Amino acid sequence: MPVVAVIGAQWGDEGKGKVVDLLSPKADIIARSQGGANAGHTIERDGQRFILHLLPSGILTPEKRCLIGPGVVLDPDAFNTEIEEVKSHGINLDHRLIVDNRTHLVFPTHKLLDNCQEEARGGNMIGTTSRGIGPAYADKSARRGVRVGDLLDDRRRQKVCSEIFDIHTRMLEKVYGQEPPDKDAFLQNCEKWAEGLRPYAGNAVEELHIALDNNQTVLLEGAQGTYLDIDLGTYPFVTSSHPTVGGAVLGIGMPPGKIDFVLGVIKAYCTRVGSGPFPTEMDAETAEEIRKCGAEFGSTTGRPRRCGWLDLAAAKQSARWNGINGWAVTKLDVLDGLEHLKAGIGYQVRGSVITSSPSTRQEWDEVEPVYAGLKSWKNCASKRDINAFPKTALDYLGTIEKFTGVPVSLISVGADHEATIMPRGDII
């Protein structure tokens, strides 16, 4: 049975939530391997809208087991809120969710530090989600982070939580001149968070391997997108984890060779939240049109997303880095009726045209997109059969395939499940 990794191939917000939700009924296990509550996976089901930040999108499909791997950073407050929210919709979580004991925690002081660090960056602000992601991964790398298993250990909890709190308050006071938060309240919250997490904590990696041994179907749910990858993305305007396929396997202890299919998710255009290079960014008027039509506002922060033309050069690079076997092209309907359509096919930099992604910050700042004009269409939104698609929309998809060398496996033309076409048959 297959292992499918669903990977964002742009700057996040590609529509991974819908895709995972759609594929979940055929999977046994759905796992998150990286990122944290900075993610916002939007799912519309039976007239209800869910935005999941930490729980794998498979949680909405009854009886599917969901894993949160060691590569995730978990905010226990956000986790508890999400658990309550999901339960309030009558979703049974018994024996369905395991958070790995090795998963690092995000505390309120991480979020305070995130905001202080952003402010200190001044004009170089990253535009983070303020969810404490960077500081939590920094603590993890510095080998002083607190993990789920530490929080649940009655003998160690006070000590490790107290130590990290003291480090954070020293930084907040001495570096950023902030009033320290209340330590007693924090330690009391640690007790509360431990109780909230206890029913779900376990060995998610082992659970995954048992599933693999039993030939079960596994979906790896990526968060954020390739160009936000800390190593390969537009550094420093990136997140602090690996949204690429490497992060998807590493963060749950999956051997890379087990992956059967990498589904790269791209929007039919591009968006990005926060600062940083975005070569195919549109003019303000067209961006406004797309933003309105595509509801392009951050699902975690509500910020308006920057909008751009489809960057085929970036998609091609993403396909190479992630070993993408098929594209899921989402929000094709948002381009319905747009008068002029174009896509980036390379970058002009210092007199030459490149199709690979720049490797320096300077180059990213300098690149000018090279565009190909494409013909627009009137209506994809109502189509449910690939044969009914306007010819020019098929040409658009054909251009994606031809330029990137990757076939289109899934087309999404609306939020509902039925607004999906799989032109090459089922993925799982």
**Closest to ligand IMP by CB, 228 or 397:** 228
Q: How far is the CB of 145 from ligand IMP (least distance, A)?
A: 16
- Please state, as a whole number, how many other Cβ atoms lie within 10 Å of the Cβ of residue 98: 22
The answer to whether residue 73 forms part of the interface with ligand IMP (CB under 6 A) is no
Q: Are 358 and 349 in contact (CB under 8 A)?
A: yes
**Closest to ligand IMP by CB, 138 or 394:** 138
Catalytic residue among 13, 139, 229, 333: 13
The answer to whether residue 129 forms part of the interface with ligand IMP (CB under 6 A) is yes
Residue 44, helix vs strand vs coil: strand
Least Cα distance to 66 among 36, 24, 106 occurs for 24
The answer to whether residue 108 forms part of the interface with ligand IMP (CB under 6 A) is no
Q: Quick one: which of 19, 60, 126, 205 contacts ligand IMP (CB under 6 A)?
A: 126
DSSP letter string, 226-282: GGG-TTTSSTTSS-SS--SHHHHHHTTT--GGG--EEEEEEESSEEE-SSS--TTBP
Nearest-angstrom CA–CA distance, 31 and 427: 17
Cα atoms found within 13 Å of the Cα of residue 3, Cβ hemisphere only: 20
Catalytic residue among 41, 53, 104, 242: 41
The answer to whether residue 239 forms part of the interface with ligand IMP (CB under 6 A) is yes
Alpha helices in 122-251 (DSSP H): 133-141, 148-152, 157-170, 183-197, 204-213, 245-250
Q: Quick one: which of 34, 42, 61, 224 contacts ligand IMP (CB under 6 A)?
A: 224
Q: How far is the CB of 255 from ligand IMP (least distance, A)?
A: 26
Least Cα distance to 380 among 398, 368, 397 occurs for 397
**Closest to ligand IMP by CB, 98 or 136:** 136
Least Cα distance to 409 among 59, 51, 6, 32 occurs for 6
Contact map string, positions 241 to 280, toward ligand IMP, x by CB under 6 A: --------------------------------xx------
The answer to whether residue 127 forms part of the interface with ligand IMP (CB under 6 A) is yes
Q: How far is the CB of 36 from ligand IMP (least distance, A)?
A: 8
Q: How many residues in the shown chain lie near ligand IMP by CB under 6 A? A: 20
Q: How far is the CB of 239 from ligand IMP (least distance, A)?
A: 3
Which of these segments, 159-167, 236-244, 369-377, 379-387, binds ligand IMP (CB under 6 A)?
Answer: 236-244
What part of residues 302-341 is at the interface with ligand IMP (CB under 6 A)? none
**Closest to ligand IMP by CB, 200 or 278:** 278
Residue 366 bridge partners (DSSP): none
Q: How far is the CB of 292 from ligand IMP (least distance, A)?
A: 19
How far CA 281 is from CA of 307, 308, 309, 370, in Å, comes to 6, 4, 6, 12
Nearest-angstrom CA–CA distance, 410 and 9: 14
Which of these segments, 222-230, 278-286, 311-319, 363-371, binds ligand IMP (CB under 6 A)?
Answer: 222-230
- The number of residues making up the chain comes to 428
Q: How far is the CB of 260 from ligand IMP (least distance, A)?
A: 25
**Closest to ligand IMP by CB, 34 or 325:** 34
Q: b/e per residue, 325-338, with b = 16+ CB within 10 A?
A: bbbbbbbbbbbbee
What part of residues 31-70 is at the interface with ligand IMP (CB under 6 A)? 38-40
Residue 110 is among the residues annotated as catalytic for this protein: no
Preceding amide of 243 cis, omega within 30: no
**Closest to ligand IMP by CB, 24 or 38:** 38
Backbone angles phi, psi at 323, to 5 degrees: 65, 45
Residue 13 is among the residues annotated as catalytic for this protein: yes
Q: Quick one: which of 30, 208, 228, 252 contacts ligand IMP (CB under 6 A)?
A: 228
Nearest-angstrom CA–CA distance, 332 and 158: 51
Q: How far is the CB of 270 from ligand IMP (least distance, A)?
A: 11
Q: Which two tokens stand for residue 148?
A: 């789920």
Q: How far is the CB of 122 from ligand IMP (least distance, A)?
A: 16
**Closest to ligand IMP by CB, 65 or 110:** 110
Q: Which two tokens stand for residue 287?
A: 């961006």
Q: Which two tokens stand for residue 386?
A: 């690939």
For residue 158, how far is the Cα from the chain centroid? 33
The answer to whether residue 7 forms part of the interface with ligand IMP (CB under 6 A) is no
Cα atoms found within 13 Å of the Cα of residue 180, Cβ hemisphere only: 15
Residue 271 bridge partners (DSSP): 307
**Closest to ligand IMP by CB, 127 or 149:** 127
The answer to whether residue 134 forms part of the interface with ligand IMP (CB under 6 A) is yes
Supply angle C-alpha 100, 101, 105, rounded to 5.
Answer: 95
Residues near ligand IMP, by CB under 6 A: 12-13, 38-40, 126-129, 131, 133-134, 223-224, 228, 237, 239-240, 273-274
Q: Which residues are catalytic?
A: 13, 41
